[in-house]
Structure 1
Amino acid sequence: MGTAFLFPGQGAQFVGMGKSLYDRFDSVKELFRKANDALGFDLAKITFEGPMEELTKTNVCQPAIFTVSVAVLSALREIVGLEKFEPAATAGLSLGEYSALVFAGVIPFEDAVQIVERRGAFMQEACDANPSTMASIIGLDADACENIVRELTADGGELLVANYNEPKQHVFSGDIPLVEKACEKAKEAGAKRAIKLKVAGAYHSAYMTPAREKLAPFIGAVTFKAPEIPFFSNVTGSREDDPEAIKQNLISQVDSPVRWAQTLTGMREMGITDYLELGPGKSIAGMLKRTVKDSNTSSLCELADIEAMKE
């Protein structure tokens, strides 16, 4: 059936990610040059040399992960050739959606990297304006998590399931006291773990609505083309072919839940069992293992990872 190309989101970053590709390929140097020009700061220097405190800043981290992910794609194209994998679908987890859109030919890299930097900056502003948080719940299904949300928000407040990552791994997002109560309720309901995340704020919740409103004109100004391969949207968790719908979903994604498990199962229903994770970290590979039992996943970030695909 071919291979699905998947791209990671924020949190996967580390100092030096993609450096082996930058050192080897002029095409990767050119991507970082375009990113530096578009952003007005030296993204390559921070990505490869740090410090980590600088790289972790949302408006740096997001374009860094995005650029490294596209760099992996570029290197894979040069070393192995994409036709070997028969690209059958693509998607990205939250921030990773922008890498998938570039891969699918929906938006150009230069536009995407500017939007991603603005997205990071506006999300950071929203986090700074109103303290909020997120928590990962392992061992409860979606219905159980949604029941907790309904119970705790009966009298108001902001709490939702922001990430449907796996059949039994979800993320609460919202008011700090409600997220803390949700963790307690989740443990009472049988969750194996309930962990507050080290994030700047409540992503994919109403706390990010100011960020969405500021970002909308930047996304709106870019021309979106129809995807060249099947593209799955975070907001719907399903395939989306219409460029205008993709654009609106990308705007909505900032303060809407990410339906990642639905995306993975939807790809499996297409007959896909082979997946590539392109970019830093291996979190998507883990999610796939627990969501699509017969999946075969390779995680690629550095030169050695890609060289191994030639065999």
Structure 2
Amino acid sequence: MAARVAVLFPGQGAQKVGMGKDLYEEYGFVRRIYEQANDVLGFDITRLCFEGPLEELTRTDRSQVAILVTSYAALEVARHKRLLETVDVAATCGLSLGEYTALVFANVLTFEDALRIVERRGAFMQQACDAQPSGMVSVIGLDFATVERLVEKTRGEGVLVAANYNSPKQLAVSGDAEALPRFEVAAKHAGAKRVIRLRVAGAFHSPLMSPAARKLAPFINNTTFSKPQLPFLSNVTGDFCDDPHTIKENLKKQVDHPIKWAQSIQKILDTGIREFWEVGPGTVLSGLLRRGWADYEVKTRNFCDVSSFAQS
């Protein structure tokens, strides 16, 4: 009987210069994926992924498409090597931006349509970041209820929200430049193990991204979404969803609403799945799993370069 596996896709922050290069050199169909992306985007995303500079690759309006292309390339290598035929893919989801790769994997979106939406998503989010100084703070070691109380206590007249529920004891908070310092002090006083200001362009998944959400909505509305061919979980609800219209609505909300990643992972674990494959650059999601759900003895595998596929 084939093992039941959840396939996960990384989000923004997983980018690094050189990602995807060895897959590009090894497989002709991967070269065609990058060439297609160059044509759709109208700039050389291939060179940016392989050569940088890192400062440009890290920009929101560049990193999102770069991670999507690289993750999709890794997914296609997994398909080429028929790895997915050896298991029962019982769930798929992606963290924030990674949700689009999961939707391509589940045959909800074509790669080209996902690329066009994500290009707009990154551009609109960058514009929102540029409009007002803001940021994000990661809190490690406090439970969700405690962090949520601290957010309410320190918000004041500004914007401050719980934004990314990453694992049971790790939550990222988004806010404006005035509210975040108050929250950081309060979180340290409350006994957080670590309070880390994230190197991101702005307050993702908060009301400060609402202008981006409004601009992105027509692009999502005008794109064809199909019924998922695999069990798919939504970031906004942390639950399974198989209705194309609801998936569209959730994607529009996702830009300025919290990401319920921890809830999604718990939902998957509750179905009995213990093996997770992370497809795309980095090992962020695997690390969250091993640290946040250690009692479940989860098994993780990463597929992002030639060596990782050689070990399969």
The DSSP-based 3-state class of the residue aligned with 2:239 is: coil
Q: How does 1:187-226 map to 2 (within 5 A)?
A: 187-226=188-227
Query: Distance between the aligned counterparts of 2:275 and 2:212, measured in 1?
Result: 35
Query: Distance between the aligned counterparts of 1:80 and 1:242, measured in 2?
Result: 28
Query: Distance between the aligned counterparts of 1:202 and 1:103, measured in 2?
Result: 28
Tell me, yes or no, if structure 1 residue 26 matches structure 2 residue 24: no
The DSSP-based 3-state class of the residue aligned with 1:229 is: coil
Deviations along 1:17-58, one digit per CA (max 9) or x if unpaired, are 011111111221111122111101111111111111221121
5+ residue gaps in structure 2? none
5+ residue gaps in structure 1? none
User: Paired residue for 2:43?
Assistant: 41
The DSSP-based 3-state class of the residue aligned with 1:37 is: helix
Query: Distance between the aligned counterparts of 1:147 and 1:73, measured in 2?
Result: 40
Tell me, yes or no, if structure 1 residue 123 matches structure 2 residue 125: yes
User: Paired residue for 1:104?
Assistant: 106
Identity of aligned residues (%): 51
User: Paired residue for 2:152?
Assistant: 150
Tell me, yes or no, if structure 1 residue 301 matches structure 2 residue 304: yes
Query: Distance between the aligned counterparts of 1:201 and 1:139, measured in 2?
Result: 23
Query: Distance between the aligned counterparts of 2:146 and 2:206, measured in 1?
Result: 19
For normalisation by structure 1, the TM-score amounts to 0.97
User: Paired residue for 1:60?
Assistant: 62
Deviations along 1:237-280, one digit per CA (max 9) or x if unpaired, are 11111110001000100000000011111001111101001111
Task: Indicate the RMSD between aligned Cα atoms, in angstroms.
Answer: 1.0
Query: Distance between the aligned counterparts of 2:88 and 2:29, measured in 1?
Result: 22
The DSSP-based 3-state class of the residue aligned with 1:305 is: helix
Query: Distance between the aligned counterparts of 2:169 and 2:197, measured in 1?
Result: 17
Size of the aligned set, in residue pairs, is: 308
> How far off is 1:96 after superposition?
0.5
The DSSP-based 3-state class of the residue aligned with 2:240 is: coil
For normalisation by structure 2, the TM-score amounts to 0.97
Query: Distance between the aligned counterparts of 1:102 and 1:291, measured in 2?
Result: 27
Query: Distance between the aligned counterparts of 1:272 and 1:249, measured in 2?
Result: 24
Query: Distance between the aligned counterparts of 1:19 and 1:86, measured in 2?
Result: 29
> How far off is 1:298 after superposition?
0.9
Contact 2:59/2:201, CA 8 A, preserved across alignment: no
Query: Structure 2: which amino acid aligns with 1:193?
Result: R
Query: Distance between the aligned counterparts of 2:55 and 2:65, measured in 1?
Result: 15
> How far off is 1:177 after superposition?
2.1
User: Paired residue for 1:261?
Assistant: 262
The DSSP-based 3-state class of the residue aligned with 2:276 is: strand
> How far off is 1:157 after superposition?
1.8
Contact 2:158/2:178, CA 8 A, preserved across alignment: no
Contact 1:264/1:291, CA 8 A, preserved across alignment: no
Query: Distance between the aligned counterparts of 1:98 and 1:148, measured in 2?
Result: 32
Deviates most, 47-56 or 226-235: 47-56
Name segments (4+ residues, structure 1) moved above 6 Å.
none
Aligned match for 1:6, one of 5, 8, 16: 8
